[in-house]
Amino acid sequence: MAQGTAFDVKEAVLSNTTFGPQEIRRLVESISADFGNYRVLRDAVQQLEREEELSPATRVRLGVCYYLLGRYRQAVECLSNADGGALARFYLGKAHFALGQYEEAIRAYQAAATAGYDTGLSALGRVEALRYLNQAQEGLKLLDELSGPVEQTAEYLYQRAATTHALLGNPAEVIRFYERAVEADPTHAGALFGMAMENDRHGNDDTAVMLYERCTSRFPAHVGALINLGVLYEDRQQFDRARQCYQRVLDVYPNHERARLFMKDALGSDGGGSDDDAARRRDRITQMLAVPVTDFELSVRSRNCLQKMGIMTLGDLTMTTEQELLASKNFGETSLVEIKEMLATKGLQLGQFADQRPKFEPIVEPQSLSADEQAMLSRPIADLNLSVRARKCMVRLGISTIGELVRHTGDELLECKNFGVTSLNEVREKLTSHNLRLRGE
């Protein structure tokens, strides 16, 4: 497989030829150029799985392919039992990161560097994981320690931009880093997504769409970019394109909740009378209000303040006023501007639904709870493993976390269409297993 010849995806997966960073890059590029090669990769992996005995080197190949297919848990298992080499450790770090296991990712990246993987790339992987652990300052120190050619790479410039943004750095500097990253690599998905988000945030829809499209032309696809692009397509009444975006997410993540909800909405968006259109708009708003604030790359200070105030979703923000946010300790004007810009990208405003806020005090005050108790309340409602009927009621009510659920009474839940006593008893049983209860019980 010389550099100038056509790249055979099936051969790359099933043969015993060299399999390293260069081959992985060409594998990714071949799928980016022709998404039909994704199916070739998937079929080749299925064939490889049927082999009775896999050598440690073959396990590395299979584990990396699992990662590319979005099968991260299988990637972790496979790579953990591979040859222990540099490539295996590096992609083990990437798989751990994709699963939200950031501390494990850091250890894997460190092990990869020790085993001989590119020290700059390994360090940049740790920077990203540190940022998601709310340790952006430590990530910045690590960036400052790097020197030489790595400082001119797109990945370094992207991580510098994202880390500066997380630390509430100069917005103009953040954009400059993103622009330099794209200049270094016009296909860098992270940098393109960052620039698209900045334009999306400021209402530059045409530019945002163009950047999201460039970002989503790459493989593996950036899920956030596909979702955001789909929403923008729907705003433009381009429902076929929106459905294609959501389907690309579902091809890799069949159970992706937001993609499934948005796909359902997009499928019903062609034609129909005004009543149906109004119902779809209400459903879309309900879905949007249920989006967790953790889906957005906010600064560490903003994230911490929102968590302390028990604000988990965009809906919580729309029922919170500017004055209430500013009254929170360590929440200043800079964080306020950041939050308002984030909401503006979704057509929402702080406090716009404050008059619809329930007139009761929640039975729990997040500030008075232990870290474990707060973690329980912030867990997604999906962790309760509710039945389909009960889950649909949660979506209709805009309930996305366990903390939001316990702020409701049983009577309020019963008012939801198709939610009866059987579903109510189910919810009570699930909450009781976690030593929780509905409000007033």
Which range among 137-151, 152-166, 253-267 shows the weakest confidence by mean pLDDT?
253-267
Reply yes or no on whether the pLDDT at 153 is more than 80. Answer: yes
Whether the predicted pLDDT of 1 surpasses 60: no
- Choice between 12 and 281, residue whose per-residue pLDDT is larger: 12
**Half-sphere exposure for 365 (CA within 13 Å, toward CB):** 3
Tokens for 352, please give them: 């716009």
Instruction: Give tens-digit pLDDT for 68-102.
Output: 988 899 999 999 999 999 999 999 999 999 888 99
Give CA–CA dist 317/296, Å, rounded: 13
pTM tops 0.75 = no
Supply the pLDDT for residue 271. Answer: 46
Do residues 318 and 343 touch, judged by C-beta distance below 8 A? yes
Which of 64-78, 206-220, 287-301 shows the lowest per-residue confidence on average (mean pLDDT)? 287-301
pLDDT band at 316 (very low <50, low <70, confident <90, very high): confident
Give pairs for 182-190: CB < 8 Å, separation 24+: 182/154, 184/152, 184/153, 184/154, 184/157, 185/153, 185/154, 186/214, 187/32, 187/214, 187/217, 187/218, 188/154, 188/155, 188/158, 189/215, 189/218, 189/222, 189/225, 190/155, 190/158, 190/162, 190/222
Range name among 168-182, 356-370, 405-419 with the lowest pLDDT average: 356-370
CB proximity list for 321: less than 8 A, separation 6 or greater: 350, 351, 354
Report the share of the chain in percent with pLDDT over 70: 88
Start-to-end CA distance of the chain, whole Å, equals 68
pLDDT tens, residue by residue, 318-365? 888 887 787 776 778 888 888 888 887 777 888 887 766 554 334 444
Task: Kindly tell me if the per-residue pLDDT of 5 is higher than 60.
Answer: no
Say if residues 381 and 391 touch (Cβ distance below 8 Å). Answer: yes
| Averaged confidence pLDDT in the chain | 84
Please report where in the chains the tokens 């956030």 appear, as a residue: 224
pLDDT at 415: 73
